[in-house]
Amino acid sequence: MTDVDKPLEGITVVELGHSVAAPYAGLILADLGARVIKVENPKSGDYARGWGPPFWNGTASVFHSLNRGKEGITVDFGDPRDCEELKSLILEKADAVIQNLRPGILEKFGLTAETLRAEKPSLIWCDIGAFGSKGPLASKPGYDPLAQASTGIMSVTGEGGRPPVRVGVSLIDMGSGMWAVIGLLTALLARKSSGEGRIVSTSLYETGLAWMTVPLAGYAASGEVRKPYGSGTAEIAPYQAFEASDGWLMIAAGNDNLFRKLCGALQLEALARDPDFATNAARVINRERLIPQIQTAVCRYSVEALGKILDEAGVPNAPLLTTDQVAVHPQTRAIEMTARCDDDDIELVGIPLTFDGTRPRARSPAPALGQHNAGLRTSATKGTASAK
């Protein structure tokens, strides 16, 4: 990565984080060129180190995927000297702090946004909480599936009449990390003119509610509680996966013109002329009669054959791929979303951004527990001494 591909070069971020949300925010910032210093417990480290199998070089692949490109130190919050060194590091080196520790943890050790910003007003502090800073759930611990459950996401995921289904990736955690980065970058921009930092706050619950923007708007407009539609969506039909003779194909006929094209491709022209299906609103109302007729037509084709027919007709579609298929797909390779770190052979996903066609990417592997203790602590101690 060249200097032109490091828009955040010169920015130092201290990550007081574990699991997914704060580490993912730190990963984004590291790929954008920031120096990210990850702080871990000296005994257990980040919980994600043990989230396996699979493991890579003795550490869970989860941890590698979220923490490459960072420096790593350990801090024992029960040791006053460690806390003082961390405080010195933040005051001397950090432009920003990202934290997603349990409420009340940092207050015990005088490492709060208010305390540190009183000594360093330019510091930007990013809190990633569980349920927000106020309200009846403010002190409740939170994890991705709890937020998916409590914000309604699980209620619109899966299939009606069946057990609840969690979205299969850490959607809330990673989304919260993204919001933290958006807030941090906004604060950096504002600091250029004011010289002042600020406290940026988000939470898993707020992120979950943000993902529920469309279902909540539907409820506000109609009072209707939407049920889950499997691979489909409540507002559009047909807009879901259909089973072909050898697999599944997602078909997205997102407007009336695309529906007519779909009917032509499947030799179902009569459906396109039927007033019960002529508009999306009508198709949504009559979904239960429409979908089986499309499914009957789809199952006559293989996924590949139907994909080609729909491509030629101009109907958006995609096969449902498994993880191994996605990893080696020509499109994944063409956009260079995965890469190896220096001196490591594991393929890890980058961030979904390019600048002038170049994807920013930090190349150093995830740090070993406490890997950079000596250098950073010596640096922080010297900085404090010279300041005095």
Residue 173 bears catalytic tag = yes
DSSP-derived secondary structure letter, 159 = B
Phi-psi region of 250 (alpha: psi -120 to 50; beta: other; left: phi over 0): beta
Q: Is residue 351 within 8 Å of 27, Cβ to Cβ?
A: yes
- How many Cα atoms occupy the beta-carbon half-sphere of 260 within 13 Å? 6
Sign of CA dihedral 118, 190, 357, 4: negative
Please state, in angstroms and rounded to a whole number, the distance separating the CA atoms of residues 269 and 261: 9
Within a 10 A sphere around the Cβ of 234, how many other Cβ atoms? Answer: 17
CB 177, CB 28: distance < 8 Å: yes
Cα maximum dimension of the chain: 84
For residue 377, give the nearest of 126, 99, 72 by alpha carbon: 72
Selected catalytic residue, list 82, 127, 144, 173: 173
The HSE-up count of residue 266 (CA atoms within 13 Å, CB side) is 27
* Separation of alpha carbons 246 and 256, rounded Å: 28
Name the residues annotated as catalytic.
173
